[in-house]
Amino acid sequence: MRMAESFALIAECCARKYGSPFPQRMLYIGTPDAGWYVRLNPTNETLEGIAPFTAHVTWGGLPAGIIDAGGGIIAAGEAANEDTLCEWLELDVKTEVTE
């Protein structure tokens, strides 16, 4: 399981985009309804129905997973799975943030 790696990569991508420490609001990476899209709640309060310190992941606009520092669950499809999520996040980490 690459859940801990996925969560660490999500945090790294958000840090590149939003800075560190994180702003105390919902953070977004990706594009809604087109491939991977992640919403990370870095606060200690529930925001937009997402528990504190938790990431909600969608693929093509459909729910694909819930990840936090302790683990999580992710889709196991051909295009949407742990490996493809990590590959997408790793690519983002290696490239300049344009959003």
Summarize pLDDT for 25-34 with one digit per residue, the tens. Answer: 999 999 988 8
Q: Is the pTM of this model over 0.75?
A: yes
Any idea where the domains of the chain sit in the sequence? 3-94
pLDDT for position 99:
47
Please spell the DSSP secondary structure of 21-59, one letter per residue: SPPSS-EEEEETTEEEEEEEE-SSS-BTTB-TTEEEEEE
Residue 51 has pLDDT above 80, yes or no: yes
The pLDDT value recorded for residue 38 is 97
67-84 mean pLDDT: 91
